[in-house]
Protein backbone atom coordinates (compact mmCIF):
# COMPACT_ATOMS: atom_id res chain seq x y z
CA UNK A 1 0.00 0.00 0.00
CA UNK A 2 0.96 3.63 -0.42
CA UNK A 3 2.24 5.22 2.78
CA UNK A 4 0.54 8.25 4.26
CA UNK A 5 2.36 7.82 7.58
CA UNK A 6 3.89 11.28 7.35
CA UNK A 7 0.98 12.98 5.56
CA UNK A 8 -0.53 15.19 8.23
CA UNK A 9 -1.51 18.42 6.51
CA UNK A 10 -4.13 18.90 3.79
CA UNK A 11 -1.29 19.75 1.39
CA UNK A 12 0.59 16.54 2.24
CA UNK A 13 -2.60 14.49 1.88
CA UNK A 14 -3.21 16.07 -1.53
CA UNK A 15 0.36 15.36 -2.66
CA UNK A 16 0.21 11.75 -1.43
CA UNK A 17 -3.12 11.22 -3.20
CA UNK A 18 -1.87 12.73 -6.45
CA UNK A 19 1.24 10.52 -6.39
CA UNK A 20 -0.85 7.44 -5.59
CA UNK A 21 -3.30 8.09 -8.45
CA UNK A 22 -0.46 8.72 -10.93
CA UNK A 23 1.10 5.33 -10.10
CA UNK A 24 -2.27 3.59 -9.90
CA UNK A 25 -3.25 4.79 -13.39
CA UNK A 26 -0.40 2.67 -14.81
CA UNK A 27 -1.79 -0.59 -13.41
CA UNK A 28 -3.52 -3.07 -15.77
CA UNK A 29 -7.30 -2.79 -15.73
CA UNK A 30 -7.43 0.64 -14.08
CA UNK A 31 -9.51 3.12 -16.07
CA UNK A 32 -9.42 6.88 -15.48
CA UNK A 33 -12.52 8.94 -16.33
CA UNK A 34 -12.56 12.56 -17.49
CA UNK A 35 -13.26 13.72 -13.91
CA UNK A 36 -10.17 11.94 -12.57
CA UNK A 37 -12.07 9.06 -10.96
CA UNK A 38 -10.26 5.76 -11.40
CA UNK A 39 -11.95 2.39 -11.33
CA UNK A 40 -11.20 -1.26 -11.84
CA UNK A 41 -13.90 -3.81 -12.62
CA UNK A 42 -13.52 -6.78 -10.28
CA UNK A 43 -16.68 -8.66 -11.30
CA UNK A 44 -18.83 -7.73 -14.31
CA UNK A 45 -22.51 -7.38 -13.43
CA UNK A 46 -25.41 -8.44 -15.63
CA UNK A 47 -28.28 -6.32 -14.30
CA UNK A 48 -29.37 -2.72 -14.68
CA UNK A 49 -27.02 0.25 -14.43
CA UNK A 50 -28.22 2.91 -11.96
CA UNK A 51 -29.00 6.51 -12.82
CA UNK A 52 -27.87 9.36 -10.56
CA UNK A 53 -31.45 9.68 -9.26
CA UNK A 54 -31.80 5.99 -8.30
CA UNK A 55 -31.57 4.51 -4.84
CA UNK A 56 -28.89 1.84 -4.70
CA UNK A 57 -28.26 -1.05 -2.34
CA UNK A 58 -24.58 -1.87 -2.01
CA UNK A 59 -22.01 -3.71 0.01
CA UNK A 60 -18.78 -1.75 0.31
CA UNK A 61 -15.52 -1.28 2.13
CA UNK A 62 -13.70 2.04 2.22
CA UNK A 63 -9.98 2.44 2.84
CA UNK A 64 -7.42 5.19 2.80
CA UNK A 65 -4.55 4.89 0.32
CA UNK A 66 -2.37 3.39 3.05
CA UNK A 67 -4.89 0.57 3.56
CA UNK A 68 -6.70 1.69 6.73
CA UNK A 69 -10.35 0.56 6.66
CA UNK A 70 -12.61 3.42 7.75
CA UNK A 71 -16.03 2.00 6.86
CA UNK A 72 -17.41 -1.39 5.84
CA UNK A 73 -20.96 -2.62 5.32
CA UNK A 74 -19.47 -6.13 5.31
CA UNK A 75 -18.26 -5.68 8.90
CA UNK A 76 -21.69 -4.37 9.89
CA UNK A 77 -23.24 -7.48 8.33
CA UNK A 78 -25.79 -5.67 6.17
CA UNK A 79 -25.73 -3.81 2.85
CA UNK A 80 -26.45 -0.08 2.77
CA UNK A 81 -29.13 1.70 0.71
CA UNK A 82 -29.09 5.36 -0.24
CA UNK A 83 -30.05 7.80 -3.01
CA UNK A 84 -27.12 7.96 -5.42
CA UNK A 85 -27.39 11.75 -5.69
CA UNK A 86 -26.85 12.16 -1.93
CA UNK A 87 -23.33 10.74 -1.66
CA UNK A 88 -19.84 11.95 -2.56
CA UNK A 89 -19.43 12.74 -6.28
CA UNK A 90 -17.02 9.84 -6.80
CA UNK A 91 -19.73 7.41 -5.70
CA UNK A 92 -22.40 9.09 -7.84
CA UNK A 93 -20.17 8.74 -10.91
CA UNK A 94 -18.60 5.40 -10.06
CA UNK A 95 -21.79 3.51 -9.24
CA UNK A 96 -23.22 4.47 -12.63
CA UNK A 97 -20.36 2.46 -14.17
CA UNK A 98 -21.43 -0.76 -12.43
CA UNK A 99 -24.28 -3.09 -13.39
CA UNK A 100 -26.31 -4.89 -10.74
CA UNK A 101 -24.38 -7.90 -9.53
CA UNK A 102 -21.07 -6.24 -10.39
CA UNK A 103 -18.19 -5.28 -8.15
CA UNK A 104 -15.63 -2.55 -8.78
CA UNK A 105 -12.83 -0.82 -6.95
CA UNK A 106 -13.19 2.97 -7.03
CA UNK A 107 -10.12 5.17 -6.54
CA UNK A 108 -11.60 8.55 -5.65
CA UNK A 109 -9.49 11.73 -5.68
CA UNK A 110 -10.10 14.21 -2.87
CA UNK A 111 -12.08 16.62 -5.07
CA UNK A 112 -14.61 13.83 -5.76
CA UNK A 113 -14.65 12.70 -2.11
CA UNK A 114 -14.74 15.05 0.88
CA UNK A 115 -12.38 17.69 -0.52
CA UNK A 116 -10.74 19.91 2.08
CA UNK A 117 -13.11 18.69 4.83
CA UNK A 118 -12.14 16.26 7.57
CA UNK A 119 -14.61 13.34 7.46
CA UNK A 120 -14.47 11.53 10.77
CA UNK A 121 -11.31 10.49 12.59
CA UNK A 122 -9.79 8.48 9.74
CA UNK A 123 -10.33 10.67 6.66
CA UNK A 124 -8.17 13.77 6.68
CA UNK A 125 -8.67 16.85 4.51
CA UNK A 126 -7.81 16.30 0.83
CA UNK A 127 -7.69 12.51 1.19
CA UNK A 128 -7.87 10.16 -1.78
CA UNK A 129 -10.12 7.20 -0.94
CA UNK A 130 -10.52 3.63 -2.19
CA UNK A 131 -13.83 1.78 -2.14
CA UNK A 132 -14.61 -1.80 -3.09
CA UNK A 133 -18.28 -1.58 -4.07
CA UNK A 134 -20.70 -4.38 -4.94
CA UNK A 135 -23.93 -3.14 -6.53
CA UNK A 136 -26.75 -5.34 -5.30
CA UNK A 137 -29.80 -3.37 -6.52
CA UNK A 138 -30.69 -0.12 -8.25
CA UNK A 139 -34.22 1.27 -8.32
pLDDT value at residue 7: 57
What number is the average pLDDT over the span 74-102? 97
End-to-end CA distance of the chain: 35
Under DSSP, the state recorded for 111 is G
pLDDT band at 3 (very low <50, low <70, confident <90, very high): very low
HSE at residue 8, side-chain half, CA atoms within 13 A, is 1
Q: pLDDT tens digits for 35-47?
A: 999 999 999 999 9
Whether 19 and 2 have beta carbons less than 8 Å apart is answered as: yes
DSSP string across 76-98? HTS-EEEEGGGS-HHHHHHHTT-
pLDDT value at residue 8: 75
Q: Which option is the CATH number for 10-138: 3.40.50.300, 3.10.20.30, 2.60.40.150, 3.10.50.40?
A: 3.10.50.40
Task: Supply the mean pLDDT for the chain.
Answer: 94
How far is 102 from 107, CA to CA, in rounded Å?
Answer: 16
Is residue 1 over pLDDT 70? Answer: no
Is residue 32 over pLDDT 60? Answer: yes
Is residue 6 over pLDDT 60? Answer: no
What number is the average pLDDT over the span 21-46? 98
What number is the average pLDDT over the span 96-105? 98
Q: pLDDT tens digits for 38-82?
A: 999 999 999 999 999 999 999 999 999 999 999 999 999 999 999
pTM across the whole model: 0.93
Amino acid sequence: MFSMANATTPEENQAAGTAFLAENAKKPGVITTASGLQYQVLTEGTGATPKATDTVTVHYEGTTIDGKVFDSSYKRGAPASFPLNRVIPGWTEGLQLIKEGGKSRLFIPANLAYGARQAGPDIGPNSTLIFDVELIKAK
